[in-house]
Chain A
Amino acid sequence: MSDSAHMRPPPGERMVELIDLHKRFFAPEPVDAVQGVSFDARAGEVVGLLGPNGAGKTTTLRMLVTLLSPDRGTVRVAGVDAAVDPGLVRSRIGYLSASTGLYGRLSAREMILHFARLQGVADPKGRTEALIARFGISEFADQRCDRLSTGQKQKTSIARAIVHDPPVLVLDEPTLGLDVLVAQTLLAFVEEARDQGRCVVYSTHIMSEAERLCDRVAVIHGGRVLAFDTVDALRERTGKRYLEDVFVSLVSAPPVVTPDGSAP
């Protein structure tokens, strides 16, 4: 069964815009976690945020989903400024990360239904049952979430994240800690989401995932975007064949900044 596409924008439409984002933490010394990050993502594409641990990926995505407010810069989702209407921005995003969890004392069905109601889905029960059928959750739908296997939890989490049929998916290292088979399910879901015309922002430090999924990649390091382009264009620019080598080459080289301040 495929998702309903009542909110789906036309392919190629700019769905996510991050403009000159800055975020400073004070833990324990002041750290500029994100320094002028800018990139965009369109409907029907997967944009990868590629960087090592501590590069600023999670902080950037947390600003995108309005969990954090940027010290400076603009976040726009489907044309809505996050500083103006964060609730509307969140209603257009499905967010899944390694740290988003499930309510242990709810069953998988109750979990999806609860979020369908929270997100204001018109027919929460119908939508819940549709997602249960689509992700093969039926056999464990009435089991408590704290008794589910990792794979079952992941399926429930995906269903929860897209219960309101969002046009934008933000996935922050979603395969972290998953075994290969469960990770494959998730990667297949991302590809399917792109094919359905959703805009997907996908952060990872696993090069093979980025190579397989991403139409464009923003290489982020030290809170800055070092490069933002298609994988092929990055290969061409660095003269490297493998994305891992491309990444090392970009991280080692001094940042190239275009006249307007953004990365080329």
Chain B
Amino acid sequence: MLLGFELRYLSRDPLALVLTLLAPVLLYPLMMGGFAKVSRDDQQTTADAELRVVAEGETATRIQAGAERVTVLSEGELIQKSDDGGVHVIVRNDEAGRPRVLEYRGSAWESREARDRVETVLTAWQDEARATHWADIGMPVAPEAVLEVRSHDVAGDAQRQAMRLGQLLPGMLVFLVMSSGLYVALDLFAGEKERGTLETLLTSRVDRGAVLAAKTAVVCLATLASVGSSLFTLWLTVQSGLVDISALGGVGMGINAAVLLKAGVLLTPLSLVLSAILVVGAAWARDYRQGQALGLPLLLCGIAPAGLAAVPDLQLGAALALVPISGISLALRDALAGELDPALGVLALVAAVGHAALGMALAGRLIGREDVLLGGGSARRDPDRLGREAAIVFLVALILFWFFGQLAQSRDLVWGLAFSQVVILGGTAVGAVFVLNQDLRSLWRLRAPRVADLGLGLLAGIGCTGLGDLVAKAQAPFLPTSSAFTEQFAAAFNVDLPMWAMILVFAVQPAIFEEILFRGTLLGLVRKSLSPWAQALVVGLLFGLIHFSVFRFFPTGVLGVALTAACIRSGSIAVPMLMHFLNNGILVGASHPDLEGLLPVEELPLWWDIAGTALVVGSVALMGRRR
């Protein structure tokens, strides 16, 4: 009943209808018409343009004779005219009068076109000269008969245009969907707060959850309607012939009902993700005006990641398919070009469904809070909850590590690492404790562990080597490690140091300083804001993030989760420190030339990984238990 009412009420707002349904109807024909005109002009101009080339001697003669629609000027003529603004290419000859350098302006399409025309002539001349040379030395062979390679774009005009259109469309669609959804969300949440109707509704006997669910559902339906209207209008524009899109070649064949259906399937979870963002922003605002101020940042949250589809040569891979909004946008671009890899499409779709579910769950949780619902959400907070401070501490460490830590490591790996660990991570961890006026012993869990927990930590630390490797193996099919990364990573450990120094740098240091930042300060700060499970997950994944590598994020993140869980369960930071030391120490020690062959760290066996994972899970689960 509530949903029906909200929809009927919304339907009485002409502006909502215009933004949701009519804007796409008006916009897409205009956009397609404009796009076709630009292409047509581009094609005509490129084909018809009379281009000017400066060349001397035989080079000039050959270009004049061989290149179409080219006017050849000599340098003398150029000087007389005192103007080189109209020259598109200059061919410089060597002392023997042969062409050596071709100067063109890459920023101007006319210059690039002139270069192509001149190059065709020069390549033919080169082949001819080579044939003459072979004949002169008694080997009359035409070079092109031996080996001639010509590049040929098999994509064809239709696919090229579809790809260009695909680069434009995701950003456009996200903008339209978010614009219509934003208006509806602001009206339903911030607007109703301001007008007092939300308070009126919440004092009726209807369940609060049902009221909020109905409003959220209306925002979702509005964004979905916008998606539907966009795709239908796109199809109608291409198929109906209302707009002359002949310049787009066979692009009309590309955008058929099947492709648009595929696009609709991809866009459905995307519109739910966007709806969740809009609902959170609109509910957070105290009133309509504040909601409007939030509008641009909210739009950017959607449009910026969708804009990745417009980046030339950015390929959809397994990792990108998992990125919210960007993954679907790239999949949509490829779908419109008819080049979507089905496996990647499914991965992007599944990821987007996950993002949508997560977004909706978070939105539901946030808008249900009475401080958000009945006032501004930003001002009221429990001073004992330090989640926001934890985020700031992490960002400070991340930024310092990114700029100064990496710089120091690039100059000298060993001393740079020491600087990063001790000064940046350790300094941030200690500094935060004092700035936030926290009790160090309690925040860092500086307690002697139980002997049993220490023993379990010992086992878990050994097992961590297997856990990290198992995660790396599991992610490999989706995120194949690049050879550059493997070489870089191997080079990092290829330092000429004695064993004890290697252990000190790569095992002891991280075990102390990474632990006091992550399991000490950060875990201590979030413990009143998150459940223990969430603490382990959040702190663990932040630990993965600071390793600054998409390939190491999950392996180190999962290790981080295990270390955090061990710290929570044992109640002492000493346990994760021991585990961290053992994990790094075993990997570093076994890769040292002195111990070569003891453990094949380059290719750990699967049984080791499984046994190690079981050891970690079992040991952490048993920690903190009393007899």
Contact = CB atoms under 8 A, between A and B. Distances in A.
Nearest to B382: A26
A184 B381 CA distance: 41
Interface stretch (A34-42, A61-69, A129-137, A240-248): A61-69
Interface in A71-112: 87-88, 90-91, 93, 95, 97, 99-106
Interface residues of B, number: 28
B607 interface: no
A90 B205 contact: yes
A120 B205 contact: yes
A103 B6 CA distance: 11
A97 B198 CA distance: 12
A73 B199 CA distance: 23
Given A28-B379, A87-B205, A117-B1, A105 B12 contact: yes
B199 A97 contact: yes
A65 B9 CA distance: 26
B123 interface: no
Most buried by B among A88, A106, A160: A106
Contacts of A69: 370
B204 A65 contact: no
A196 interface: no
B203 interface: yes
A117 B381 CA distance: 37
Given A26-B383, A100-B196, A101-B200, A87 B207 contact: yes
Most buried by B among A27, A68, A88: A27
Contacts of A67: 199, 202-203, 370, 374
Contacts of A119: 204-205
Given A68-B374, A119-B204, A103 B381 contact: no
A91 B196 contact: no
Interface in A212-258: none
A106 B6 CA distance: 11
A87 B200 CA distance: 14
Contacts of A106: 9
B370 A115 contact: no
Chain A interface residue bracket vs B = 20 to 34
B370 A68 contact: yes
A95 B205 CA distance: 11
B69 interface: no
B197 interface: yes
A83 to B, nearest CB: 14
Given A26-B380, A27-B380, A62-B374, A100 B199 contact: yes
Nearest to B203: A95
Contacts of B202: 67
A101 B206 CA distance: 17
A213 to B, nearest CB: 21
A117 to B, nearest CB: 7
A188 interface: no
Nearest to A65: B203
Contact of B205 (A88, A100, A101): A88
A114 interface: yes
Interface string B182-207: 00000000001001110111111111
Interface in B53-101: none
Given A26-B379, A68-B374, 12 more contacts: A25-B380, A26-B382, A27-B380, A62-B374, A66-B203, A67-B370, A68-B370, A88-B205, A102-B197, A104-B195, A118-B1, A160-B200
Interface of A: 25-28, 30, 62, 65-69, 87-88, 90-91, 93, 95, 97, 99-106, 114-115, 117-120, 160, 164
25 contacts: A25-B371, A25-B380, A26-B380, A26-B382, A27-B375, A30-B383, A67-B203, A68-B370, A87-B205, A88-B205, A90-B204, A91-B205, A93-B203, A97-B196, A99-B196, A100-B196, A100-B199, A100-B203, A101-B192, A101-B197, A105-B13, A115-B200, A118-B205, A119-B205, A120-B205
Closest 10 CB pairs of A and B: A101-B196, A91-B205, A27-B379, A95-B203, A101-B195, A105-B12, A100-B200, A26-B380, A99-B196, A101-B197
